[in-house]
A = this chain, B = another copy of it.
Amino acid sequence: MGPFSCAKEKHLSANSPHTLDVIAIGNAIVDVLARSDDGFLAEHALTKGGMQLIDAEMAETLYAGMGSAVEISGGSAANTLAGLAALGKSCGFIGQVCDDQLGGVFAHDIRAMGVTFTTPAVSGDVPTARCLILVTPDGQRTMNTFLGASQFLPESALDADLIRSAGILYLEGYLWDPEQPRAAMRAAIATARDAGRRVAFTLSDNFVIDRHRADFLDLIDQGLIDILFSNEGEIKSLVQIDDFDKAVATVAAKVPVLVSTRSENGAVAVVDGTRYEAPAASVAQVVDTTGAGDLFAAGFLAAHIDGLGVEDCLKLGAAAAAEIISHYGARPEVDLKLIRAKLFA
């Protein structure tokens, strides 16, 4: 029964490595989505729209109180890869699952998107990560992440050849927080840069920036980040400048490609010193904002890899984000290639 078996899965089948557009390192997470209301958020002191890490006990408490849920593979960088793969890019993923049922679900789903995923699952008592996502009627998502096996991704799990084979190494900021994956990501950066590859990084969330601001600024100062994804709050927090334009200009001076999204106010990119702006794509109804930033990054990167102009990169980013917030879950439901074809018709 493979990934659905009660028995532990010892050998996840592997795609063979090949030359990739993007290899990403990120949390291997299954999202558990349920409708919620403001009262439930208040009762559990949850900040709407935010992400918090939770321990096993809190995960159990929240889950017990949550409504009937839907399980869909997630993880920020993995969502971005799903978008990139849907747009025809060749991708690989590195992330840690447990050899339990949810680990099998995660592995199945990312491979079903055509993404190479060969990181061996671990056995043991630490289960595959899951994110309990409470979606309020306004479409906002409040994420509660139990990192589980994901936080124990060891440097030894990296496939250096796979990293060297990819044009871009994409790193998820969330995974900078736990110690082992942080060390693995530092090693991956070195491997990629030694091979002449570019490094993309997403800041992920203010809590990560608060804990690792010095690290992030140091990576940027050393010129180790070629492409930086952020949202308005994150870029302001990173340089502790409350003026968005000034914050963007400050960081852009040190990063060849800087992208910052502003929800319904569109997005800004600064590429080699030139600033570009684009409005958000229109959405009939915002159902669930989970994955909006992840899919914006996917659309932008896909167009960027294709050599399109920055305005078009922003447009495809906005279109991919619009698709993802129009339904439940952070994996594309509509053919993104069709969306791209219409956009550039």
Bound form: Cα–Cα A56–B7 in Å: 12
Tell me which residues from 59 to 105 in chain A have a Cβ below 8 Å from any Cβ of chain B.
59-60, 63-64, 66-73, 82, 98, 100-102, 105
Bound form: Cα–Cα A125–B4 in Å: 11
Bound form: Cα–Cα A329–B66 in Å: 18
| Residue in B6, B13, B109, B130 whose CB lies within 8 Å of A4 | B130
Interface of A is mostly: mixed
What B residues does A167 contact at CB under 8 A?
none
Bound form: Cα–Cα A72–B328 in Å: 12
Contact A56–B1 (Cβ < 8 Å): yes
Q: Does A281 contact B (CB under 8 A)?
A: no
What B residues does A126 contact at CB under 8 A?
6
What B residues does A7 contact at CB under 8 A?
125
Contact A60–B1 (Cβ < 8 Å): yes
A92 to chain B, nearest CB (A): 16
What B residues does A64 contact at CB under 8 A?
2, 13, 108
Tell me which residues from 302 to 334 in chain A have a Cβ below 8 Å from any Cβ of chain B.
329, 331
| Residue in A6, A7, A67, A105 with the greatest tally of chain B CB atoms within 10 Å | A6
Known: A101-B127, A102-B101. A112 touches B6 (CB 8 A): no
> What count of chain A residues pass the 8 Å CB interface test?
42
Q: Does A229 contact B (CB under 8 A)?
A: no
User: Closest residue to A132 on the B side, CB-wise?
Assistant: B4
Contact A1–B127 (Cβ < 8 Å): yes
Q: Does A5 contact B (CB under 8 A)?
A: yes
Q: Does A170 contact B (CB under 8 A)?
A: no
Bound form: Cα–Cα A56–B5 in Å: 9
17 residue pairs of the A-B complex, CB under 8 angstroms, read: A1-B56, A1-B59, A1-B60, A2-B64, A4-B130, A6-B98, A6-B125, A6-B126, A63-B108, A64-B108, A68-B108, A68-B113, A69-B108, A71-B72, A71-B105, A100-B101, A101-B127
- Chain A interface (Cβ within 8 Å of chain B)? 1-7, 13, 32, 34, 56, 59-60, 63-64, 66-73, 82, 98, 100-102, 105, 108-110, 112-113, 124-127, 130, 146, 329, 331
4 new A-B contacts, CB < 8 A, other than A6-B100, A68-B331, are A4-B146, A6-B127, A64-B108, A68-B73
